[in-house]
Amino acid sequence: MTKPEPIIRLEDVHKYYGDYHALRGITAEIGQGEFFSLLGPSGCGKTTLLRAIAGFEDISSGAIMLGGKNMEGVAPNHRPTNMVFQSYAIFPHLNVEQNVAFGLRKSGLSAGDKTRAVGQALEMVGLGGYGGRAAHALSGGQRQRVALARALILKPKVLLLDEPLSALDKKMREVMQVELIKLQREVGITFILVTHDQEEALVMSDRIAVMFEGEIAQLDDPERLYRRPVSRRVGEFIGMMNFLDGTLQASGGLSVDVAGLGRADIDEGQIAGAARAGAVSVGLRPETLSILFEDDPKSARSAEGEVAEVVYYGDMTYYDLRLDGAARNVRVSMRNVVGRPVLEVGARARVSWDPRALTVFS
């Protein structure tokens, strides 16, 4: 995969609010046409970073390069970025058409061209024919679309989205996720999404920067992020992860002895960060473990335990197992299959596991 030329370059960006160090040396490149997400818990600095790119926050040191130009001292109205606000910020005294056309005031387009552009923009977000609607007569999803049309009509180099889906209900959120991806492919504009929802980030992004306490903990594509988190904290934040006690041995090839599961050889790439030989924490996603039923072929690697908890989700069942010889429960997720019973609490179960799926943390 060739790396596209970066449209945004963040160079050691720091931000202080008085004594509070909100951004601690953010360095990243965001490519042309990329769908990039800033993911993290609230207070991690992701929104501050987005607002700094938009120009609403001054940075204390470092540089934000946009299309090769340093944005220092450039006001938000002169930056080639547009923003979709968390509240959508639809102007309540203007109708849909006037809202979308707002940014064209200084474009020098003729009235006819403006009307056409507004019509196209509304069409693009699936709101054709809604131009005359009053702002307060719109549903949450429609407001979101108006905000998108209003920002995209200016053909910004970068579209900034501040938790754009957090105000929508679950069903609508899923619909808009797919629509946003389609829209982004269609217009080819770089999207930077701020979200605290890891699932949303995984679904939508080309790359994700996971942020904790003003720092980027990991910057990767969704698959690598999920499969190979660089720290326990990232692993915990993205999806669900079991952490089992283990012992790492480096003499005569790498191997790890996992409490309750057994010993396995691993390779270099499975060791995250600074894990060294000795006591380690072994991360395993619930879906990489699997409970063996009577009719399953016997697996080479299996362990036994007792079912401590059963959580039934309809399509899936989560089992918490107390493996023999392990101090902690391990969670296993199983797809529910017709004709296969859901185990009950207290039942004995055999689990198979694949050492390739584990990640070793210090």
Partner 1 sequence: MKGQGLKAYVILYLVFLYAPILLLPMFAFNSGTVIAFPLQSFTTSWFVEIFTTKALIEATRNSVFIAVSVAILSTCFGLFAARAATRYNFPAKGGIVGFVMLPLVLPEIIVAVSLLVVLIQAGLSTGIWSVIAGHVLICTPFSIAILQGSFANMDKSLEEAAIDLGETPLSTFRLITLPLVAPGIIASLLICFTISLDEFIIAFFLSGNEPTLPVYIWGLLRFPARVPVIMALGTLLVALSIILLITAEYFRRRGLRRAGKRDVGGFL
User: Contact residues for partner 1 (CB under 8 A)?
Assistant: 54, 56, 75-77, 81-83, 85-87, 89, 91-93, 102-103, 105-106, 135-136, 150-151, 154
Give 92 or 253: the residue with its C-beta nearer to partner 1.
92
Q: Which residues contact 256 (CB under 8 A, 6 or more apart)?
A: 246, 247, 248, 249, 263, 264, 266, 280, 282, 355, 358, 360
Give 3 or 106: the residue with its C-beta nearer to partner 1.
106
> Which among 143, 164, 61, 34 is positioned nearest to 99, based on CA atoms?
143
Give 138 or 216: the residue with its C-beta nearer to partner 1.
138
Mutual angle of helices 170-187 and 140-152, in 10-degree steps: 20
Q: State the nearest-atom distance from the C-beta of 82 to partner 1, in Å.
A: 6
For residue 119, report the phi and psi dihedrals to the nearest 5 degrees. Answer: -60, -45
Give 93 or 170: the residue with its C-beta nearer to partner 1.
93
Give 105 or 170: the residue with its C-beta nearer to partner 1.
105
Q: State the nearest-atom distance from the C-beta of 175 to partner 1, in Å.
A: 23
Q: State the nearest-atom distance from the C-beta of 56 to partner 1, in Å.
A: 6
Give 160 or 289: the residue with its C-beta nearer to partner 1.
160
Give 64 or 360: the residue with its C-beta nearer to partner 1.
64
Helix (H/G/I), strand (E/B), else coil: 118: helix
Q: State the nearest-atom distance from the C-beta of 31 to partner 1, in Å.
A: 23
Q: State the nearest-atom distance from the C-beta of 2 to partner 1, in Å.
A: 32
Token duo for residue 138 = 């719109």
Name beta bridge partners: 191: 35, 159
Q: State the nearest-atom distance from the C-beta of 136 to partner 1, in Å.
A: 4
Pairing of strands 278-284, 242-249: antiparallel
Give the type of residue at 132: G
* Torsion from C-alpha of 213, 217, 223, 228, nearest 10 degrees: -130
Q: State the nearest-atom distance from the C-beta of 315 to partner 1, in Å.
A: 38
Name beta bridge partners: 279: 247
d(CA 76, CA 83): 10
Residue 126 vs residues 142, 148, 183, 249: alpha-carbon distances, Å: 9, 11, 10, 58
